[in-house]
């Protein structure tokens, strides 16, 4: 150790860190932002910061404090950062302010994969998974309870103010504890007021989106004569139902469950479009606040960058059944293979180990002619062979993200920030996957 050590000798030549550094250095990123801080504060190269985030996310290190600690303890991370040690606040700020640059990098990595001959766009698989929000489900409040809790807090604050006035006359009290209790209750009351307003605004937006459909139903009803008119449709409700809930910690997150057999969690619905031609690269994705996938097929495909191209065939499970979306996508020239019912997802089981109470249930009757056509298409030998690609392409991607990378909960809050973090996860996965394909 008489001479300065060369960190390159401490990192194996086949470590992914070399590929990440080379890949990020080759990106043309115009939207990278550096941390604008006071004079004298340390500044770090933005591409090094991006490579640091990508490499750490690809290796299951997500917290900014853990990333900072890794710059001291992890040899590969120390080599990547050039033996510098950005603090956790710098890392967190850089991540929060550079989601646009992450989107640019995501596109250019896909273009790199196409140039290497790894990505051959044709068939894609679409699926979604629930990822926990950075909030507790115990912090949900119902619309009918928010006003009552706010009134109760107002009474408590008034009582504490009267108590504080009495203690001011006493000389043996420091008067520090009561102001803290008042401030804590005032802060909670402001959160309840904001939650009450957001629930009302959400209901109005929902009513506006349903207004056109309601008016169309009225027009169609007037065209029918006599008793065939049927029951008059209900107008959209502009006020929230009493059971509507909102989370005080992360208002954009929702209570979700995967199925009736699963428990509710405070989560987001993360969508991904995966190449089914062999590369298993993620081609697009977005985050939804709706637990169901029924309306997510079109947004998922629209999230794919135009520069990558358009697929020819789309695979999805029964959660994406939506006849209107099917018609729109087929008009665009896409060939769809979507399971019409959940029973069709399991129709290819050779050995069915499920309880008889489940297997003996009568299958769901499909009456819509458009769904009947889709059902028959998936029953053909070619349809079964093509649809079989879905489970071996998109489902392993979520398995790797959750079990190998260990990403099961968002660190940021709010739909906009969570969407940016999901983009960073997809970028880290793609670079890890591209490195595996390159070294295979």
Cβ pair 397, 420 in contact under 8 A:
no
Domain boundary residue among 206, 224, 247?
247
Angle formed by the axes of helices 16-25 and 46-58, to 10°? 140
Residues 151 and 241 in one domain: yes
Number of other CB atoms surrounding residue 337 within 10 Å = 21
pTM: 0.84
Residues 126 and 224 in one domain: no
Q: Please check whether residue 295 lies inside any domain of the structure.
A: yes
Number of domains in the chain: 3
Give the Cα separation of 396 and 15 in Å (integer): 23
Please provide residue 125's backbone torsions phi and psi, each rounded to the nearest 5 degrees. -115, 140
Number of other CB atoms surrounding residue 238 within 10 Å = 13
Q: Please check whether residue 342 lies inside any domain of the structure.
A: yes
Residues 129 and 83 in one domain: no
Question: What range does the domain containing 205 cover?
Answer: 139-247
pLDDT (tens digit per residue) in 14-47: 999 999 999 999 999 888 887 666 555 678 999 9
Cβ pair 336, 125 in contact under 8 A:
no
Number of other CB atoms surrounding residue 161 within 10 Å = 12
Does the structure show a pLDDT above 60 at 174?
A: no
Residues 155 and 190 in one domain: yes
Q: Please check whether residue 1 lies inside any domain of the structure.
A: no
Please provide residue 343's backbone torsions phi and psi, each rounded to the nearest 5 degrees. -65, -30
If we measure between CA atoms, which residue out of 208, 288, 198, 191 comes closest to residue 245?
Answer: 198
pLDDT (tens digit per residue) in 212-264: 777 777 777 777 766 666 677 777 777 777 778 888 899 999 999 988 778 89
Q: Please check whether residue 43 lies inside any domain of the structure.
A: yes
Residues 152 and 123 in one domain: no
Fill in the DSSP letter of residue 409: B
Residues 204 and 268 in one domain: no
Residues 269 and 397 in one domain: yes
Residues 204 and 350 in one domain: no
Residues 123 and 270 in one domain: yes
């Amino acid at each position: 150790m008489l001479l300065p050590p060369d960190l390159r000798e401490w990192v194996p030549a086949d470590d992914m860190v070399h590929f990440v550094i080379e890949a990020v250095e080759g990106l043309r990123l115009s939207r990278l932002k550096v941390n604008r801080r006071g004079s004298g504060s340390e500044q770090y190269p933005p591409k090094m910061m991006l490579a640091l985030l990508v490499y750490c996310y690809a290796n299951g290190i997500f917290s900014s404090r853990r990333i900072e600690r890794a710059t001291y303890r992890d040899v590969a991370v120390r080599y990547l950062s050039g033996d510098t040690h950005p603090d956790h606040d710098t890392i967190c700020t850089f991540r929060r302010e550079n989601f646009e640059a992450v989107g640019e990098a995501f596109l250019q990595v896909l273009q790199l994969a196409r140039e290497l001959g790894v990505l051959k766009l044709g068939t894609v698989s679409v699926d979604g998974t629930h990822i926990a929000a950075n909030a507790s489900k115990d912090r949900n409040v119902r619309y009918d309870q928010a006003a009552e809790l706010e009134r109760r807090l107002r009474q408590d604050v008034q009582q504490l103010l009267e108590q504080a006035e009495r203690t001011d006359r006493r000389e043996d009290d420091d008067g520090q504890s009561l102001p803290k209790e008042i401030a804590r209750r005032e802060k909670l009351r402001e959160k309840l007021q904001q939650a009450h307003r957001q629930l009302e605004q959400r209901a109005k937006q929902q009513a506006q989106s349903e207004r056109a459909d309601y008016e169309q139903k009225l027009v169609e009803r007037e065209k029918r004569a006599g008793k065939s008119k049927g029951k008059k449709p209900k107008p959209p409700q502009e006020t929230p139902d009493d059971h509507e809930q909102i989370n005080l910690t992360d208002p954009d997150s929702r209570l979700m469950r995967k199925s009736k057999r699963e428990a509710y969690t405070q989560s987001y619905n993360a969508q991904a479009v995966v190449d089914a031609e062999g590369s298993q690269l993620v081609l697009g994705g977005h985050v939804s606040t709706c637990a169901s996938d029924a309306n997510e097929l079109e947004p998922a495909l629209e999230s794919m960058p135009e520069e990558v191209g358009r697929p020819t065939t789309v695979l999805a499970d029964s959660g994406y059944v939506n006849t209107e979306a099917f018609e729109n996508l087929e008009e665009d020239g896409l060939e769809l293979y979507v399971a019409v019912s959940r029973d069709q997802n399991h129709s290819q089981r050779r050995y069915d180990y499920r309880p008889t109470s489940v297997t003996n249930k009568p299958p769901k009757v499909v009456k819509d002619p458009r769904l009947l056509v889709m059902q028959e298409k998936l029953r053909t030998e070619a349809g079964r062979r093509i649809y079989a690609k879905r489970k071996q392409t998109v489902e392993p991607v979520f398995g790797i993200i959750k079990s190998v990378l260990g990403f099961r909960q968002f660190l940021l809050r709010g739909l906009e920030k969570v969407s940016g973090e999901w983009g960073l996860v997809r970028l880290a996965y793609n670079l890890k996957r591209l490195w595996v394909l390159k070294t295979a």
